[in-house]
Chains A and B, each alone.
Chain A
């Protein structure tokens, strides 16, 4: 009882102190300079908007701020977080969106996470990453967004439990997780590398999915880009070691981001949206810069084509059962030798999904299926059926182990419980095999 009272008193004092700090503004650390208090002229906005379109594509604003089938930029896309559901907001220049926002207010929202009126944004909006954007790019984005068609669409209510629905508490979150300053160009690295870092970290905000998070959901920067689980799926390790392990080279990575397809397979799940709404619209120079940064290189040189991994040994009974499954259900589209069919289905030989540390992305694709996907230049991959009703956990584990070993060179360590964990995330529709 005594401990309980002390804890309660501690919490009350702590809470009051926190509230005091928040309301005194002591926790606010803005990176926005005073120069943006001067409004942009109509001519400036017109001149900056085309550059802003490129910034919006690289920063992937549309993917989150447009619900599938919804009005452009009008928000409404739901996000499952450990604290509840958050909806992306309307950012078209309407009354419900950013209509009437000043240049300075836009800068503050994007880089400090604070909307007009001092309203804190939830960090589902990646302002911790956008904080590193240059003043010029934010101006260009402001010019582009304020010249979109206003969409009079109201914002959806968030489903957050107390105390996460209390926006003022985010001042404390920001104090813990928002960097006080932003990365300056590293003079010891090349212009290519520095541009790559800027596009990757400030604009592309790749770390928001590929960097693991701590208990407060802040990014663990010491583990940057080493992979994380997001909405039940693994965003793989994209450090140089992780990318190499998946079979990527800098050149093939740039191709993958630009087209969604490479010898390593097709972009699927959330990464398809990233390619579809963002990276395929980026300049080739920026894709190459990102590839250089991801592989920590100052310059890109011609590379020999990646060598496919040697098959790993698999128990004969596992291989026999898996080969029967593969011949029955997979070979019709992916080929008897895992070679795939151009414009229909990806090759499985050397496919990155068979080489990631976790098999969850592969298992999810097989059990739940994938929708048909369109890629640049008329390229397309057909829908993958769901096989949840055809394959039980043991059969799926055998298939995964054999394919990962045969075409991914990975030791067969997948257990039936790994499959069961992925199956638990499927909807009843997938489980019924419809």
Chain B
């Protein structure tokens, strides 16, 4: 029996809130989100970095946002980073109600998901794509391709791919500034 891993302080920003606490070395980011922060939206699917149900957004100043798989990435890798999980996309209003993000709203309106297990990953992927397009718009004819490339790594066992794709494509085309003339 090996000794328990030594705790090491982990400080980062999650969904706009600073977080700092001792976390044993070797804990995955997903375990940390679930067990230490109670954020269970980033789902454990394959645990091997294949299905992408566990992805979160990492936002660094001066850099484009990225999608990172939390099941295969250690919690301490996120030291000092700014992370947005699926819980951090909707906006809470003064009366306690929630306003969904444009991506979440598009998925609801497009009946994009069925069981919903993969949805946090698709929300992350689509949001990262839209943020990247805001920084570097693409021609209209490239939209299908960039949407496919962004969603391609995500696995949906209910095979909701077409509706996810349609929802993201339509949102990209309807949002000003993402597509060049």
Binding site for B on A (CB under 8 A): 324, 327-329, 331-333, 336, 341, 344-345, 382-383, 385, 389, 433-434
Indicate if the CB atoms of B71 and A332 lie closer than 8 Å: yes
Indicate if the CB atoms of A324 and B76 lie closer than 8 Å: yes
Indicate if the CB atoms of B26 and A327 lie closer than 8 Å: yes
Give A384's nearest chain B residue, CB to CB. Answer: B49
A329: chain B residues at CB < 8 Å are: 73-74, 77
Indicate if the CB atoms of B66 and A344 lie closer than 8 Å: no
Indicate if the CB atoms of B72 and A332 lie closer than 8 Å: yes
Q: Does B11 contact A (CB under 8 A)?
A: no
Shortest distance between the CB of A382 and any CB in chain B (Å): 6
Shortest distance between the CB of A283 and any CB in chain B (Å): 34
B76: chain A residues at CB < 8 Å are: 324, 327-328
Give B75's nearest chain A residue, CB to CB. Answer: A328
Indicate if the CB atoms of A333 and B72 lie closer than 8 Å: yes
Docked complex Cα distance between A329 and B25 (Å)? 13
Indicate if the CB atoms of A341 and B66 lie closer than 8 Å: no
Give the number of residues in B that approach A within 8 Å (Cβ atoms): 15
Indicate if the CB atoms of A433 and B66 lie closer than 8 Å: yes
Indicate if the CB atoms of B49 and A332 lie closer than 8 Å: yes
Partner of B73, one of A332, A383, A389: A332
Give A372's nearest chain B residue, CB to CB. Answer: B50
List of 9 A-B pairs having minimum Cβ-Cβ separation, nearest first: A328-B77, A332-B72, A328-B74, A327-B74, A344-B48, A333-B72, A382-B48, A336-B26, A382-B50
Binding site for A on B (CB under 8 A): 25-26, 28, 48-50, 66, 69, 71-74, 76-77, 149
Docked complex Cα distance between A329 and B28 (Å)? 10
Indicate if the CB atoms of B49 and A382 lie closer than 8 Å: yes
Shortest distance between the CB of B54 and any CB in chain A (Å): 11
Indicate if the CB atoms of A328 and B73 lie closer than 8 Å: yes
Give B5's nearest chain A residue, CB to CB. Answer: A336
Indicate if the CB atoms of A331 and B74 lie closer than 8 Å: yes
Indicate if the CB atoms of A333 and B26 lie closer than 8 Å: no
The 8 listed contacts between A and B (C-beta, < 8 Å) are A327-B76, A328-B76, A328-B77, A331-B74, A345-B48, A383-B49, A385-B69, A389-B66
B73: chain A residues at CB < 8 Å are: 328-329, 332
A385: chain B residues at CB < 8 Å are: 49, 69
Shortest distance between the CB of B26 and any CB in chain A (Å): 6
Docked complex Cα distance between A433 and B69 (Å)? 13
A324: chain B residues at CB < 8 Å are: 76
Docked complex Cα distance between A324 and B50 (Å)? 23
Docked complex Cα distance between A344 and B51 (Å)? 13
Q: Taking each of A324, A327, A434, which has the highest tally of chain B beta carbons within 10 Å of its own beta carbon? A: A327
Known: A327-B25, A331-B74. 4 other contacts (CB 8 A): A327-B76, A328-B73, A336-B26, A434-B149
B66: chain A residues at CB < 8 Å are: 389, 433
Shortest distance between the CB of B77 and any CB in chain A (Å): 3
Shortest distance between the CB of A138 and any CB in chain B (Å): 45
Docked complex Cα distance between A385 and B71 (Å)? 13
Docked complex Cα distance between A215 and B161 (Å)? 53
Docked complex Cα distance between A331 and B77 (Å)? 11
Indicate if the CB atoms of A383 and B74 lie closer than 8 Å: no
Docked complex Cα distance between A114 and B76 (Å)? 61
Give A326's nearest chain B residue, CB to CB. Answer: B74
Docked complex Cα distance between A304 and B72 (Å)? 35
Give B78's nearest chain A residue, CB to CB. Answer: A328
Docked complex Cα distance between A341 and B48 (Å)? 9
Partner of A331, one of B26, B50, B69, B149: B26
A344: chain B residues at CB < 8 Å are: 48
A333: chain B residues at CB < 8 Å are: 48-49, 72
B25: chain A residues at CB < 8 Å are: 327
Give A432's nearest chain B residue, CB to CB. Answer: B64
Docked complex Cα distance between A382 and B51 (Å)? 11
Indicate if the CB atoms of A332 and B28 lie closer than 8 Å: yes
Docked complex Cα distance between A344 and B73 (Å)? 16
B50: chain A residues at CB < 8 Å are: 382-383
Shortest distance between the CB of A398 and any CB in chain B (Å): 15
Give A325's nearest chain B residue, CB to CB. Answer: B77
Give B27's nearest chain A residue, CB to CB. Answer: A327
Shortest distance between the CB of B21 and any CB in chain A (Å): 17
Docked complex Cα distance between A433 and B73 (Å)? 15
B74: chain A residues at CB < 8 Å are: 327-329, 331-332
Docked complex Cα distance between A329 and B66 (Å)? 15
Docked complex Cα distance between A234 and B72 (Å)? 29
Shortest distance between the CB of B81 and any CB in chain A (Å): 11
A327: chain B residues at CB < 8 Å are: 25-26, 74, 76-77
Docked complex Cα distance between A130 and B130 (Å)? 55
Give A337's nearest chain B residue, CB to CB. Answer: B2
B71: chain A residues at CB < 8 Å are: 332
A383: chain B residues at CB < 8 Å are: 49-50
A331: chain B residues at CB < 8 Å are: 26, 74
Docked complex Cα distance between A385 and B77 (Å)? 16
Docked complex Cα distance between A324 and B73 (Å)? 11
Shortest distance between the CB of A103 and any CB in chain B (Å): 49
Docked complex Cα distance between A332 and B75 (Å)? 11
Shortest distance between the CB of B112 and any CB in chain A (Å): 23
